[in-house]
Structure 1
């Protein structure tokens, strides 16, 4: 049975108004009596470019899953058997649980209506997404269908590789605002996107943000730089840890112990990054979640230890007369414990999933990471921003004191070499994790240069810190009550310079 309805209003640019699309979907229920009178279980719907299908399930029969597929060759939608849907570019599986809920809210009657909308909504060049194939699918069952245990599954076949695809929904009210809430995205065999959603409404697959598209031509080189840098860092970090635990453990002071914790955190971060793509390609969801959690935890832990390093320098070099009992034990708990509640919270919300990226060469890369941009911005960028602000303030204070002491000591005939002071500053820059701040400049004309600088500095960070660790020769006590008797500004500045000289040589 085929039903022709009035075509939704189409604007001169070929788009369909969202409010009209929502209204048309809600009127499908008016077709039920016509379908029942024709003794048919389903009917095709044609409204100009908008096509669809409506399917009834008899109240006297057991509810069952059904598959509805769209055929681009015939430009129609139809209900098919499960084993016949593999060649269709788009299909949706409606679980029996949804029909049960529809039946309870519609006095025993259960139905599903699906409409395909091309070019839904006005084109807006300022938006940071594109709708895959310009296709939006509206699904209704005449009832509030949400919180399903057996999700609605939609699959979309791809003609070419895509990057950063995400399954989204729109509630049909107001402006066309997409959300990933209630939907999960999964890539299958490089050419199929599977969307699994726990509710019914309008659905679309959104494509890469423009910045990600701009990076696509450079993805291969950035990946190579990161992989090589992380590999070198893992090698030298392992050597540094070997040297410490087997050769220098007995000579460790507080500053060295903090540095070793930084090295361990960076070692975990680099190892998890290098193994991430292999785990993502394995298709094991549990392993993907684990490696994403480990990489996220080690990254946040690295940020925390950068903060602790700056705090230690502040207490020792600036405050000086501070006494903290069980100091190393407390900062160790802080360094490794503060990130745990964060990753547990992200894990509980299902935030760790596989992400797919593609380069212009056609190479597809997968990694296990956080798919929710809200979590990415609030948790990761927000967390580092706080660390960055604190470490930058301490960095400026210490560097200022270093160069002030240079002028003071010059009058005493003890001018330090500029190269030596520059190495102090660079060492502090690395120890405080300030190289990660390059990501703040990833906009506009600085987008690509900042990505290359970020990849080089942070993937090779472990190697740079190994070089620093290798040049530590003196066993400095590193306690806070360092010469408490001196209080003059001049002597304090000189003490800062002397202390930094001892640490960074």
Structure 2
């Protein structure tokens, strides 16, 4: 018999067999085409040209190129040439995989894997049933041993293989995949079941008093309710144009996973929609009960929703509009006041705060004492005779900013629980301003101390008092206003305790979203690093200058000078960078104690210096008697006086 006739008969038989399978099993769920690329020994390339539609797919090859040219995708468009490594052999195995449900195409060539189209959400139209057409003529270079799945189409070498596609609604294809999952145990069919969704439509009639929608999904040979949605009567009142509600249940996070290693979306995702309407701010929330695998107390969980109006293709889960109620380790209830996609976000690797209750108690006590101390220090500085001295104004500015910082920090927990997100936006901005203002005034202390030590050697213009005030209170307004205009930076911040990660401590501060974290890393941390480093350098400078003086031999004076200057220069904040390793708990307690009682320590320093000055009968003063309360103490002033006389 003629070999060419045999080849044609084989093609007819194979296609009849494939069509018989297709007819028996309805539509194809995917395509797998493999073959051997016969090519030359030179440089090889992939020529990719894909566009949307459902006209067909052409797989061709020659001496140097393997080409994938098709119009079968729903969203993916790609046109480029990819260079391959040189092959000493003149043939290379390859396989092309097409998944119409998620619009994904992958190519495997000689052990290299290429994703030509990345998976996306389920689309409206899918291009499937890629039936094989007439082969291109045989040639010396091309594709040999072309197969669909494991069925051989031709053993000869052809220039190209043509496949024609048929459009179909993806929901229909999904229903077929779900129906086949009951009789098939293949991994691919199970994955299709996870990708596809089940829909339930509810008609809200005039006497609608609420309705429970149950999601049935198979687990082995049984049916398991993975989610239950309760639609409240308020939903019918909010829907103006239609009475139909559609609940779509996904049994996989395949299409909804965020690109973060710290959090994970549950396999259960629910979409609730009312056609052509945006439903928000419901007076009675929708209750969604998720049944899931065990989530232990060490992993926090939060109900989240996805606002598709911003970017339907960008996964961005947010906690706005949803409240989380836990009902054990295997059940979570979400109460949400709007319609969109809903699921539960699980913290995989939490970094909870150890001993949060003790740290909160220390902070509250320290802030309360510091507020009272700052008030006393402000009154004391106002009553000083030499109030017009620059150092007094700097001390006063620091006392005012610390008063505001400790007061807001003391009240932040109460305001977060009582005022909610709206109040926390303003309180968080005010707290950030107070923190930056405190850092700025500490930096001015460093600058003024440097000025006082070296001004006798460098004759410079002395800044006016309003310059200090403008810098200390005006500069922090700029970054806070910029961040406020950006929006989404300030709000409720959750501090997770290690003993119960599901009941976090609420405070008003910068949020945990990407923009807020960037603001923290590019504004707060650089300012703090600069302050701590400059403060340490200035401590060394002052120590070197006053160490030769007789007063330094007095241990009490030496300790008070270094301790007081450490508070004034903000070096105690440097402990926050040492919160790691085996001593992290100890460092955290020390840092919390020193910084929360900072206002008290400053008042204590001024009071002790004043007592020492009175006991010494003015021996610590001289021509500038008030200098005992300045940045470097009386020893520096006596040193400067001696240098001036010389």
TM-score under structure 1 normalisation? 0.65
1:328 paired with 2:459, answer no
| Distance change (3 Å), C-alpha of 1:243 and 1:188 | farther
Partner residue in 1 for 2:538: 398
Q: Which deviations, in whole Å up to 9, do the C-alpha atoms of 1:250-307 show, x marking residues without a partner?
A: 5352112111211111111111112122122224443222222221221121112122
Alignment partner for residue 456 of structure 1, among 580, 593, 609?
593
| Distance change (3 Å), C-alpha of 1:33 and 1:251 | closer
2: distance between equivalents of 1:208 and 1:379?
A: 23
1:25 paired with 2:122, answer yes
With CA pairs under 8 Å and 6+ residues apart, which has the higher RCO, 1 or 2? 1
Check whether the contact 2:368–2:410 (CA below 8 A) recurs between aligned residues. yes
Query: Tell me, what secondary structure is at the counterpart of 1:368?
Result: strand
Ranges in structure 2 where 5+ consecutive residues have no aligned partner: 1-25, 31-101, 105-117, 127-168, 175-189, 204-209, 217-222, 328-332, 611-624
Partner residue in 1 for 2:139: none
Partner residue in 1 for 2:263: 130
Partner residue in 2 for 1:83: 233
1: distance between equivalents of 2:214 and 2:476?
A: 46
Deviation at 1:401, TM superposition (A): 3.4
More helix by percentage: 1
Query: Tell me, what secondary structure is at the counterpart of 1:445?
Result: coil
1: distance between equivalents of 2:508 and 2:211?
A: 30
1: distance between equivalents of 2:451 and 2:534?
A: 10
Alignment partner for residue 466 of structure 1, among 600, 603, 623?
603
Partner residue in 2 for 1:498: 639
Partner residue in 2 for 1:12: none
Ranges in structure 1 where 5+ consecutive residues have no aligned partner: 9-17, 36-45, 59-65, 86-92, 101-109, 480-493
Check whether the contact 1:114–1:140 (CA below 8 A) recurs between aligned residues. yes
Query: Tell me, what secondary structure is at the counterpart of 2:506?
Result: strand
Query: Tell me, what secondary structure is at the counterpart of 1:223?
Result: helix
Partner residue in 2 for 1:106: none
Across the aligned residues of Structure 1 and Structure 2, the Cα RMSD in angstroms comes to 5.3
Partner residue in 2 for 1:484: none
Query: Tell me, what secondary structure is at the counterpart of 2:320?
Result: strand
| Distance change (3 Å), C-alpha of 1:256 and 1:415 | closer
2: distance between equivalents of 1:211 and 1:76?
A: 25
Check whether the contact 1:7–1:48 (CA below 8 A) recurs between aligned residues. no
Deviation at 1:310, TM superposition (A): 1.4
Query: Tell me, what secondary structure is at the counterpart of 2:263?
Result: coil
Partner residue in 2 for 1:441: 578
Deviation at 1:355, TM superposition (A): 3.1
Deviation at 1:377, TM superposition (A): 3.9
Deviation at 1:430, TM superposition (A): 0.9
Partner residue in 2 for 1:383: 523
2: distance between equivalents of 1:432 and 1:400?
A: 12
Partner residue in 2 for 1:225: 362
More strand by percentage: 2
Matches within 5 A, 1:202-351: 204-208=343-347, 210=349, 212-213=351-352, 215=353, 217-245=354-382, 247-248=383-384, 251-320=387-456, 321-325=459-463, 327-348=464-485, 349-351=487-489
Query: Tell me, what secondary structure is at the counterpart of 1:248?
Result: coil
Check whether the contact 2:374–2:399 (CA below 8 A) recurs between aligned residues. yes
Matches within 5 A, 1:77-116: 81-83=231-233, 114-116=248-250
Check whether the contact 2:247–2:271 (CA below 8 A) recurs between aligned residues. yes
Deviation at 1:6, TM superposition (A): 10
Check whether the contact 1:301–1:339 (CA below 8 A) recurs between aligned residues. yes
Partner residue in 2 for 1:355: 493
Deviation at 1:458, TM superposition (A): 1.0
Check whether the contact 1:56–1:111 (CA below 8 A) recurs between aligned residues. yes
2: distance between equivalents of 1:19 and 1:318?
A: 71
TM-score under structure 2 normalisation? 0.52
Larger Rg computed on CA atoms: 2
Query: Tell me, what secondary structure is at the counterpart of 1:367?
Result: strand
Residues paired across the two proteins, number: 426
